[in-house]
Amino acid sequence: MTPASFVRKRMGEWRELESLLARIEDRRDRSLDPDDMLRFARLYRAACTDLSLAEAFRLPGEMRMFLEDLVSRGHSNLYSFRKQRIATLRELFFEKIPALIYSDVFIRIALLAFYIPFALSLYLGYASRPFAIAVAGEAQLEQALEMHLESRENPTAGGALAGTGFYIFNNASLALICFSVGILGGVLSILVLLMNAVYIGAICGFLLTTPARDNILSWLPGHGPFELTAIAIAAGAGLRIGFSLIAARGRSRLRALREESQESIPAIAVAVLLLVVAAFLEAALAPAELPLPWKFAVGGAATLLLIAYFGVYGSMAARRAKSRGGD
């Protein structure tokens, strides 16, 4: 292949890369999509190969300079995207998400509406079997007892997943329900949250009085903080959407619903992430033959992590965001 034929063969892609680079470097251009970026990466790699062949084909100096410029600009933009993505993720997880969760009054209401009744019901279920029966029904209590006793007798990963699969599915479904029913004014989100807080607390309290006590203590602490907090956060997001239909604050209800739905997306993403983490912890810790203090240490660390991230760090991030807004 002659230098001229090589240039004719490759010039189309070089010009396409040059055009894409111009669009990328134009910060006002918002028309780029993932397919464009994928095409850019492919053309950049091909141009790097062409530049390495430039000497072998003895391309003219001006053509080599053209290729060198394309490769240099491509390299700069490609790695600037990677740095930008890292910076965006860092800002998302260390600034925006903790600040949004901390500042969201609806999530605060939902957390209080879940954990206070849950703690009270846990105590009453432990202290009073009639209370647990009144809340969950004797058949459901016996089923829960049998499930956790069987899991204790066969502490394998498969047995633990079989024994706790109901709870994973139930809590993931519950989080979705708490969010989705929020559109009905938000009242149902809180009602569903309260009912399940009392129900889960009563069953766990009852199990602490049975031979399955050690098993429930081994099963619950590791993943419980993540899973239960995820349910409350999802309910808070649903409450926000529902409240927007009641108090639109000068907006049309359709506009209020759209805007508050967008504001709720980070909360739903956090709830999903917490449920995934909870599922992994449950699968890893439930069958593990570890001393109870070790599992309680994991649960304590999880609780402190949530408080530190959403409470302490969220407060700091919210103040930083407020100060930047004031500037």
Residue linked to tokens 């999880």? 302
- Looking only at Cα atoms, what is the longest distance across the chain? 92
Whether residue 292 contacts residue 222, with contact meaning beta carbons closer than 8 Å, is answered with: no
What is the rounded CA–CA span in Å between residue 98 and residue 309? 6
Q: Which residue has better confidence, 308 or 53?
A: 308
pLDDT digits (tens, 9 = 90+) for 16-43: 888 888 887 776 566 777 777 788 888 8
Range of weakest confidence among 27-41, 60-74, 244-258, 264-278:
27-41
> Which class for 121: exposed (0-12), middle (13-18), buried (19 or more C-beta within 10 A)?
buried
How far is 180 from 183, CA to CA, in rounded Å? 6
| Exposed/middle/buried for residue 36 (C-beta within 10 Å: 0-12, 13-18, 19+) | middle
Q: Which residues contact 138 (CB under 8 A, 6 or more apart)?
A: none
Asked if the model's pLDDT at residue 289 lies above 90, the reply is no
Residue with tokens 């396409």: 16
First-to-last C-alpha distance (Å) of the chain: 62
Query: What average pLDDT score do residues 181-186 get?
Result: 77
Residue 238's SS3 state is helix
- Residues 113-159 pLDDT 10s: 999 999 999 999 999 999 999 999 999 999 988 887 865 544 455 55
Contact residues for 229 (Cβ-Cβ < 8 A; gap 6+)? 111, 274, 306
Q: Which residues contact 320 (CB under 8 A, 6 or more apart)?
A: 95, 99
- Give the per-residue pLDDT at 165: 58
CA atoms of 125 and 118, how far apart (whole Å): 10
Cα dihedral across residues 90, 92, 97, 103: positive or negative:
positive
What is the average pLDDT value for the chain, to the nearest integer?
82
Q: What angle do CA 242, 253, 105 make, to 5 degrees?
A: 40
Residue 6 predicted with pLDDT over 70: yes
Question: Residue 208: pLDDT band by 50, 70, 90 thresholds?
Answer: very high
